[in-house]
């Protein structure tokens, strides 16, 4: 049983006390608990719950399953801005904003946003799933009601929770910053408190920016390739795929257009450089919570 004193503790005493995961869970539902204060945890979790319902309802009624995609590039940065409390969290928010602006623009130029907002291009892979083209267990999703359950459980619920957890390092950094501000009275008064950024923050920020540049270059190469590929296909249906004996570069380009996938420049080094950069980017973001 949880003692009544744990439910009645003030915000300051709560944040200044070490807690296990189970003891944190035990405070949920208490009207005076830490979780009911206007903290990033409470605001973000409430926002996430609302968006789970919203994206499910909108995607079901509009028959467009890419509603979470419209929020993908926005929510992690928004959650990070909720956590600004010191220099580290400010740096994390600014970096996530750079990532958000770049990805939002990339999604927009591919037709992801339109008016009304529930329209816009749907990921073409959902249509393959509806038709049962993939075969195997994916054919279950051709059933309307099973697809509704899948939409709620995976597309709306899981992906919104994932977007919240992507920003989890910012919440860790907020907790540390809040503890420093609220609890370390003696150190702050004596002026001996440690700086709120360290060398690991510099490493994390550098890795993040390197990954962001790599992702930007890769996405631009992919976008240019796809635009040229479709232009080539529309004007070269009759014999346009013939190879040229004396021009290796043209032959390589034609082969890539025929295959449908970019295989040169960064894509000639890593199969999916934009995805690899995205993984490196969020790993570096995690390093801020270690710092």
Predicted local distance difference test score (pLDDT) of residue 193: 59
| 159-166 vs 168-183: helix crossing angle, rounded to 10 | 40
Residue 32's pLDDT is: 46
| Residue 111 Cα to chain centre, angstroms | 19
Contact criterion met (CB below 8 Å) for 287 and 166: no
Q: What share of the chain is helix, strand, coil (3-state, %, to 5)?
A: 70, 0, 30
* Global confidence as pTM: 0.81
pLDDT of residue 195: 74
Contacts of 183 (CB under 8 A, 6+ apart): 12, 15, 16
Could you give the CA distance from residue 160 to residue 227 in angstroms, rounded to a whole number? 31
Per-residue tens of pLDDT for the chain, all 291 residues:
444 444 444 566 666 766 554 555 455 445 445 555 578 888 999 999 999 999 999 999 999 999 999 999 999 999 999 999 999 999 999 999 999 999 999 999 888 888 888 888 888 888 888 888 888 888 899 999 999 999 999 999 999 999 999 999 999 999 889 888 888 755 555 555 567 899 999 999 999 999 999 999 999 999 988 888 888 878 765 445 554 445 555 677 778 888 888 888 899 899 999 999 999 999 999 999 999
Q: Rounded to 5 degrees, what are φ and ψ at 44?
A: -70, -40
Give residue 12's pLDDT. Answer: 65
Measuring CA to CA, how many Å separate 196 from each of 176, 193, 201, 239, 260?
Answer: 9, 9, 10, 64, 48
């Amino acid at each position: 049983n949880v003692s009544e004193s744990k439910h009645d503790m003030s915000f300051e005493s709560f944040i200044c006390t070490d807690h296990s995961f189970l003891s944190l869970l035990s405070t949920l539902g208490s009207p005076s608990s830490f979780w009911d204060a206007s903290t990033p945890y409470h605001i973000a979790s409430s926002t996430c719950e609302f968006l789970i319902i919203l994206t499910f309802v909108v995607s079901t009624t509009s028959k467009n399953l890419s509603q979470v995609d419209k929020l993908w590039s926005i929510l992690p940065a928004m959650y990070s801005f909720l956590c600004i409390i010191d220099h580290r969290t400010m740096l994390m928010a600014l970096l996530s904003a750079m990532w958000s602006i770049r990805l939002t623009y990339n999604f927009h130029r591919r037709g992801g946003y339109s008016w009304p907002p529930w329209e816009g291009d749907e990921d073409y892979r959902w249509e393959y799933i509806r038709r049962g083209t993939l075969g195997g267990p994916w054919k279950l999703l051709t059933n309307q009601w099973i697809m509704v359950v899948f939409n709620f459980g995976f597309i709306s619920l899981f992906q919104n929770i994932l977007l919240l957890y992507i920003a989890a390092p910012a919440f860790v950094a907020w907790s540390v910053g809040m503890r420093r501000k609220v609890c370390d009275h003696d150190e702050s008064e004596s002026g001996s408190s440690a700086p709120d950024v360290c060398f690991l923050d510099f490493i994390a920020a550098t890795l993040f920016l390197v990954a962001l540049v790599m992702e930007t270059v890769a996405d631009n190469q992919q976008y240019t390739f796809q635009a040229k590929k479709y232009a080539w296909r529309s004007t070269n249906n009759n014999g346009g795929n013939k190879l040229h004996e004396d021009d290796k570069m043209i032959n390589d380009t034609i082969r890539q257009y025929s295959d449908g996938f970019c295989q040169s420049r960064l894509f000639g080094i890593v199969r999916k450089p934009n995805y690899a950069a995205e993984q490196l980017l969020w790993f570096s973001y995690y390093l801020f919570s270690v710092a």
